[in-house]
Structure 1
Amino acid sequence: MENQTQIFGIRAIIEAVNAGETIDKVFLQKGERGELFGELESLLNKKSINKSYVPVEKLNRLTKNNHQGAVAQISPIEFHDMETLVMSVMESGKTPLFLLLDQLSDVRNFGAIIRTAECTGVNGIIIQKNGSAPVNGDTIKTSAGAVFKIPICKVDHIKDAVFYMQASGVKVIAATEKTNDTLYDVSFVEPCAIIMGSEGRGINPSTLKVVDSKAKLPLLGDIESLNVSVACGAFLYEVVRQRLNK
C-alpha cells in the first residue's frame, strides 16, 4: 500500500515546494554542487523541510528516473497546526491527551504508535520536522489506516510543543528510565501530553529538563528496555485505565 508520491529533479522539487506541496522529506546527493542545487538547499532550509544527504546509490534505488541528485517524498496526509489543534481540543470539553514523539525514526514503530494512539483516544500526535520518521506506505500499513484518523502536527523542535502545552494547561510527562517513579505513580487523569523518545537516544536531555513529570515502566527481566511502540502502548493504556476509573 504505497500512497506516497515521489518528485525527482531539482527544479521540479523547487516548484513543488513553492506551490505549497506537503513535502515530508528530501533526499539530496552527498557532495553535489551547483547553483540550482544550492538554491534548493536554501529553500529547504527556509521552509524547515526535512532533508537527508545520501549516496547516489540510495537515490538510484528510490527512482530509475534522472533525479539530478534530489528526490522528494510528498506526504499522503495534510499536517495540522499544533496551536489550532490544542485550542480546539481544550474548547471541546474533553480531557486532552496528546502524544509527543521526540525524533522517532522507524516508520513501523511510528505506524504502530499511531494505531495505538487512535485506539486509546489520543487527540493528536506532535513530531519534530527534522529527524522524524516520514509518513509513507509502511507507516500507513502498520497503522492500519489510523494515520488518516488522528491529527498529526509538525513543530521545529519538540521543546516548542512542550512549552505550548504547559502554557495551555496541559501537563507534560516524559516516558524515561531516568526517574524513580513508575507510570503507576503518576496521575494521567488531568489534561496531559506524553513524550516518547527515539529508539536509540531516548528523549533529548534538554527536553527532559523542562517536563513536568517523568515516569518509567517497571522492567522485571534482564532486558533493559522495551520497543518504543510497546512502551507507548503501556503508557497510553494506563491513561485509559486511570480515566475510566476516576
Structure 2
Amino acid sequence: MQNETTNIFGIRAIIEAIESGSTLNKVYLQKGLRGDLFFELDKLIKKNKISVSQVPVEKLDRLSKNSNHQGAVAQISQIDFYDLEQLIEKTKEDNKIPLFLLLDQISDVRNFGAIIRTAECTGVNGIIIQKSGSAPVNAETIKTSAGAAFKVPICRVDHIKDALYLLQASEIKTVAATEKTEDSVFDINFNQPIAIVMGSEHRGVNPSVLKMVDYKAKLPLLGDIGSLNVSVACGAFLYENVRQRTIK
C-alpha cells in the first residue's frame, strides 16, 4: 500500500475514484464551473462529505502541472497494489475464467492509462507491471484511464518472469503479442485461463520473456506501416478475447 498522497485531475477520474471507495483528502474545483458532469461530481462530494475548495483556474494549473484538469483536481492516497498470488486465487474462487494482462516495461504514462481503461472495459482481472522500467501510476495515468485505475487490480512484481512462472504454475496459459511469429491472434484459444503479454513501445516483448510464454501471436497488418501503437494492439487482443468468450 502507498501512504503518500498524489493529485489526480479530470472530473470523470475523480468521480470514478469516489465511486470506487477511495479516500479523497480534498477536492479543488474551478470557480464558476458548470455542466452536467460537474453537478454529478458536486453531488458525490456533498454525499460523501469530502472537503472542497473553490479556487481560480491558475491554482488548478499549478496542481495539475498545466495538464487538462477540466476544472477539477483532487488530493488522494496513491493506489494500492495487489498481491498477485492472492489475486489469482480470488479470481479462481469467484469462478471466473482468469484473464490477466502483463505489461513488459511499457514506459509511456498515456499508453499505460489507455491500456488500463481498455482492460476495465474488457473484464481483465488484473494488470501486472514490473517495479523497474514501467510507467508510474501517477495523476496522468489515472486521468488517461478515465478513473479505471481505481477499478482494475494492479500488481507489481520484481520481474515479469516472476509473474509468468506463477501464472503458469496456476495453470494459466500465456500469450505474447509479437511480430516474431507466423501465428495470428485469431488462432489463439481465449476460452481458457489466459494472460496476455504486451511489450514496451520501442523493444516489444523482451526476448527472454518470449522464450517462456506458451503462445506467440500477431495482428494482421494490411498497410505499409509495420506496427501498431501498443495501447491499440492491446485493445485488439483484448477484444478478440471478448469476442471468443461471448460468441454463441
Question: Which residue number in structure 2 is paired with residue 17 of structure 1?
Answer: none
Contact 2:6 2:138 in 1 (8 A): no
Aligned-residue sequence identity (percent) comes to: 72
Quick one: distance in 2 between partners of 1:201 and 1:86? Answer: 28
Map residues 55-74 of structure 1 onto 2, 5 A cutoff: none
Quick one: distance in 2 between partners of 1:162 and 1:100? Answer: 9
The TM-score normalised by the length of structure 2 is 0.69
Question: Which residue number in structure 1 is paired with residue 245 of structure 2?
Answer: 243
Quick one: distance in 2 between partners of 1:122 and 1:95? Answer: 10
Contact 1:110 1:139 in 2 (8 A): yes
Question: Secondary structure of 2:123's match?
Answer: coil
How far has the Cα of 1:245 moved from its partner? 1.4
Q: Count residues with an aligned counterpart.
A: 179
Question: Which residue number in structure 2 is paired with residue 146 of structure 1?
Answer: 148
Runs of 4+ in 1 over 2 A off after TM superposition: 3-6
Root-mean-square deviation over aligned CA pairs: 1.9
Quick one: distance in 1 between partners of 2:97 and 2:146? Answer: 25
Map residues 159-198 of structure 1 onto 2, 5 A cutoff: 159-198=161-200
Amino acid at match of 2:84: M
Contact 1:4 1:137 in 2 (8 A): no
Question: Which residue number in structure 2 is paired with residue 157 of structure 1?
Answer: 159
Contact 2:106 2:134 in 1 (8 A): yes
Q: Aligned to 2:218, which of 216, 219, 224?
A: 216
Taking structure 1 as reference, are residues 180 and 143 closer, same or farther at Cα in structure 2, changes over 3 Å only?
same
The TM-score normalised by the length of structure 1 is 0.70
Taking structure 1 as reference, are residues 208 and 183 closer, same or farther at Cα in structure 2, changes over 3 Å only?
same
Question: Secondary structure of 1:95's match?
Answer: coil
Question: Secondary structure of 1:243's match?
Answer: helix
Q: Aligned to 2:135, which of 133, 136, 143?
A: 133
Quick one: distance in 2 between partners of 1:176 and 1:75? Answer: 36
Any gaps of 5 or more consecutive residues in structure 2?
Answer: 8-75
Any gaps of 5 or more consecutive residues in structure 1?
Answer: 7-73
Taking structure 1 as reference, are residues 146 and 239 closer, same or farther at Cα in structure 2, changes over 3 Å only?
same
How far has the Cα of 1:162 moved from its partner? 0.6
How far has the Cα of 1:4 moved from its partner? 5.3
Quick one: distance in 1 between partners of 2:107 and 2:158? Answer: 16
